[in-house]
């Protein structure tokens, strides 16, 4: 009999951390573990905002799988197309650079994450940008830089950015984008008033799921950056001229970023699973998919206990899935996943963040250092984390040196 085959679909927080935990539990000694993902690199999404301010480099947050996937796991770079299932034998169609193939599995782990959801609103798909990948972050940075260059060439031209969605992604993005714009305006010799930033949400409050202390800090930092809030009003449509709100307000803007909604990976429709009304796969507390023995789902695509779609949840679920795969092989009891929030963290601009760790709130530079430290510890591979930590240290020493050695402006200059 051949080795037991474990196939993991998706190389994000759920998929990669499941593979690493399987290796740590020794499952890779008796089973062949394969991870399939569409890009050759993992992406540490919580630090994506810092690409806009050049506070992180691509390699810090997007290490190649060959660095972070254990050597006893196989990596297949390809697009998952769908599944063909027979009882206890699962076949998954994958398109790779060298053509299409079917990968067979005895145990299947689904961790395909989510995509932006435009709720079918007119103009959203055509005129807004998503912010979910390295390419999205670089494209947005380029567009902000070009908008300031354009404003420098055209008298009285302003730079307008609208961020739709005032959840964590929208708030963090608005604060960081504001800092990037101000730094570009300074370099171009333009006044800060040339930039207009708007944050829109149909709910009456920002960050409804966060502790009130963090909400308060976020309000303060958004106000300091003159970000105009449009709360309690939905978006009616978007166009090349800007955003139309349901109350008739028009916000003129060239750059619109959509962070208002997400839905599970569309490829799930190509699998024979029941899905809930949001398109997620219902799972048991052991994260198994009912009716499909040996199939597990986790992260953003799993409708389990009332857990939010966060990296924190996906990583903890990965540990449960890996434990249960090992336990199922040994005939031992499976473990249940229970949601236990550990806290929240968010960037609120360059060098500024807020964190609520088990009820203790940090903000400003303390928040920034706490967030950086927690994310370093959460990175998938200790060697990678060590290199990133050293790089951040070098970067901050260089910035301190530059600030210290810069000529002091005199009153005459």
Ligand X SMILES: Cc1cc2nc3c(=O)[nH]c(=O)nc-3n(C[C@H](O)[C@H](O)[C@H](O)COP(=O)(O)OP(=O)(O)OC[C@H]3O[C@@H](n4cnc5c(N)ncnc54)[C@H](O)[C@@H]3O)c2cc1C
Q: Which of residues 249-278 bind ligand X (CB under 6 A)?
A: 265, 267
317 binds ligand X, rule: CB under 6 A: no
Query: Restricting to residues 345-364, which ones interact with ligand X according to CB under 6 A?
Result: none
Residue with tokens 């998503």: 130
CA–CA distance, 356 with 409 (Å, rounded to integer) = 39
What are the start-end ranges of the E strands in 131-261? 159-164, 195-201, 227-231, 235-239, 242-245, 250-252, 255-258
Residue 391 sits in the site that holds ligand X (CB under 6 A):
no
In 10 A of CB 87, how many CB atoms? 7
- Considering only residues 53 to 92 of the shown chain, the ones binding ligand X according to CB under 6 A are 79-80
What gap in Å lies between CA 181 and CA 226, rounded to an integer?
Answer: 12
C-beta nearest to ligand X: residue? 12
CA distance 113 to 15: 9
Residue 167 found at the interface with ligand X (CB under 6 A): no
Type and span of the H or E element at 135? helix 134-153
Beta strand 250-252 with 242-245 is: antiparallel
Determine, following the binding rule CB under 6 A, whether residue 311 of this chain makes contact with ligand X.
Answer: yes
Instruction: Determine, following the binding rule CB under 6 A, whether residue 39 of this chain makes contact with ligand X.
Output: yes
Q: Which residue among 19, 35, 48, 303 contacts ligand X (CB under 6 A)? A: 48
Q: Is 193 left (phi over 0), alpha (psi -120 to 50) or beta?
A: alpha
Q: How far apart are the first and last CA of the chain?
A: 81
Q: What is the size of the binding site for ligand X (CB under 6 A)?
A: 30
Question: Closest approach of Cβ 112 to ligand X, in Å?
Answer: 4
Determine which residue in the list 20, 60, 127, 132 makes contact with ligand X, applying CB under 6 A.
Answer: 132
Using CB under 6 A as the binding rule, whether residue 300 contacts ligand X is answered as yes
Give the 3-state secondary structure of residue 152: helix
Minimum CB distance to ligand X, residue 5 (Å):
18
Q: Which region, judged by CB under 6 A, interacts with ligand X, from 33-41, 84-92, 327-335, 391-399?
A: 33-41
297 binding ligand X? (CB under 6 A) = no
From 11-19, 155-163, 193-201, 246-254, give the range in contact with ligand X by CB under 6 A: 11-19
| Binding site residues, ligand X, CB under 6 A | 10-15, 36-39, 45-46, 48, 79-80, 111-113, 131-132, 169, 265, 267, 299-300, 309-312, 314
């Amino acid at each position: 009999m051949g080795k037991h085959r474990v196939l993991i679909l998706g190389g994000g927080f759920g998929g990669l951390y499941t593979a690493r935990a399987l290796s740590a539990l020794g499952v890779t000694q008796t089973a062949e573990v394969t991870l399939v993902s569409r890009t050759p690199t993992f992406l540490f999404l919580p630090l994506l905002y810092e690409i806009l301010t050049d506070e992180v480099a691509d390699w810090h947050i997007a290490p190649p799988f060959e660095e972070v996937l254990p050597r006893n796991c196989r990596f297949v770079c390809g697009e998952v197309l769908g599944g063909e299932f027979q009882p206890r034998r699962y076949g998954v169609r994958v398109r790779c650079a060298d053509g299409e193939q079917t990968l067979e599995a005895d145990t299947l782990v689904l961790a395909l994450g989510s995509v932006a959801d435009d709720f079918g609103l007119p103009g959203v798909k055509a005129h807004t940008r998503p912010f979910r990948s390295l390419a999205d972050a670089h494209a947005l940075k380029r567009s902000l830089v070009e908008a300031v260059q354009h404003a420098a060439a055209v008298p009285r031209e302003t730079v307008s950015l609208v961020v739709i969605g005032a959840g964590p992604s929208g708030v963090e993005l608005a604060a960081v984008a504001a800092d990037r714009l101000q730094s570009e305006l300074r370099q171009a010799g333009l006044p800060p008033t040339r930039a207009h930033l708007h944050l829109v949400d149909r709910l009456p409050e920002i960050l409804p799921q966060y502790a009130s202390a963090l909400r308060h800090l976020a309000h303060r930092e958004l106000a300091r950056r003159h970000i105009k809030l449009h709360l309690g009003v939905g978006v009616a449509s978007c166009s090349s001229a800007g955003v139309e709100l349901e109350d008739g307000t028009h916000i003129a803007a060239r750059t619109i970023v959509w962070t208002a909604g997400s839905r599970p990976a569309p490829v799930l429709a190509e699998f024979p699973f029941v899905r809930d009304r949001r398109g997620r796969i219902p799972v048991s507390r052991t994260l198994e998919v009912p009716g499909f023995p040996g199939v597990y789902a986790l992260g953003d695509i799993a409708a389990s206990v009332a857990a939010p779609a966060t990296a924190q949840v996906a990583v903890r679920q990965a540990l449960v899935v890996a434990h249960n795969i090992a336990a199922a092989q040994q005939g031992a009891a499976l473990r249940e996943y229970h949601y236990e929030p550990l806290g929240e963290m968010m960037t609120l601009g360059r060098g500024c963040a807020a964190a609520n760790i088990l009820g203790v709130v940090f903000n400003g530079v303390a928040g920034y250092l706490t967030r950086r430290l927690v994310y370093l510890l959460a990175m998938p591979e200790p060697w990678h984390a060590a290199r990133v930590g050293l790089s951040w240290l070098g970067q901050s020493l260089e910035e301190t040196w530059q600030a210290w050695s810069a000529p002091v402006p005199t009153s005459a200059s």
